[in-house]
Amino acid sequence: MQKTVGILALQGAYQKHADILSLLGVQSMLVRRPEHLHDCAALILPGGESTSISLLIQKYELAPAIKKLAETRPVMGVCAGMVLMASEVNDTHVQPLALAPMRVQRNHYGRQLHSFTAELELAFDATPYRAHFIRAPAVESIGNDTKILACVKNQPVMVQYGQHLALSFHPELTHDTRIHQYWLKHVKQQ
């Protein structure tokens, strides 16, 4: 049976993730309602505007369904998705889902104007990874069971908590599929 990866499609760069999954031969579906999660083996929370996505998650009553899915299935949060996965956020306009024990600061690296690209050393691959940071969040603190997989100037930008992955940068904006492939290993292990 083919496993389907859900992609939260309320706002943001969700289609780029669908394109990468298609390239990797993985079936995906766009998630806009709680019932869409029933057939998903995993979920991607894409980049976008975290306050808008948070408000829409509440409006469409998705929070309980996402939390339930995350109890047994992998979640990958990218940029705004990382903010949503946190247990604590520096902005009261965002209602975090508390999927990983970490405190995250929204827009830590500045506004759109301050976007940048950096070469990352990945804990699971020897080849440097070229990452794009756009209004990127920063991890201020993490729980004991959270692994740091990549940093920029000693600041964690990619962390793993169990089967969940949270990133400050946008792997969907590159042709390098290693980040998605790494996370998909957890989906296949189910």
Catalytic residue among 36, 170, 180, 186: 170
Rounded distance, CA 53 to CA 19, Å? 21
Mark 68-97 as b/e (b = at least 16 C-beta within 10 Å).
ebbeebbbbbbbbbbbbbbbebbbeebebb
Rounded distance, CA 81 to CA 7, Å? 11
Beta bridge partners of 45: 77
User: What is the percent of the chain with per-residue pLDDT over 70, rounded to a whole number?
Assistant: 94
Q: Render pLDDT for 151-181 as a digit per residue (tens, 0 to 9).
A: 998 999 999 999 999 999 999 999 999 999 9
Q: Can 93 be counted among the known catalytic residues?
A: no
Catalytic residue among 17, 36, 172, 186: 172
Measured in whole angstroms, the distance separating CA 119 from the mean position of its chain's CA atoms is: 19
**Residue ranges making up the domain that contains 35:** 4-188
Q: Residue length, the chain? A: 190
The CA–CA distances, whole Å, from 47 to 3, 141, 145, 188 equal 23, 21, 24, 24
Q: Can 170 be counted among the known catalytic residues?
A: yes
pLDDT tens, the chain, 190 aa long:
368 999 999 998 899 999 999 999 999 999 999 999 999 999 999 999 999 999 999 999 999 999 999 999 999 999 999 999 999 999 888 999 999 999 998 876 666 656 778 999 999 999 999 999 988 898 999 998 999 999 998 999 999 999 999 999 999 999 999 999 999 998 877 6
Domains contained in the chain, number:
1
Rounded distance, CA 88 to CA 97, Å? 9
The CA–CA distances, whole Å, from 33 to 45, 76, 132, 171 equal 14, 18, 29, 25
Angle (CA) 9-111-85 rounded to 5° is 40
Catalytic residue among 79, 164, 180, 186: 79
pLDDT at 1: 37
Q: Can 35 be counted among the known catalytic residues?
A: no
Phi and psi at residue 62, to the nearest 5°: -90, -20
pTM score of the predicted model: 0.94
Give the CATH number, domain containing residue 96: 3.40.50.880
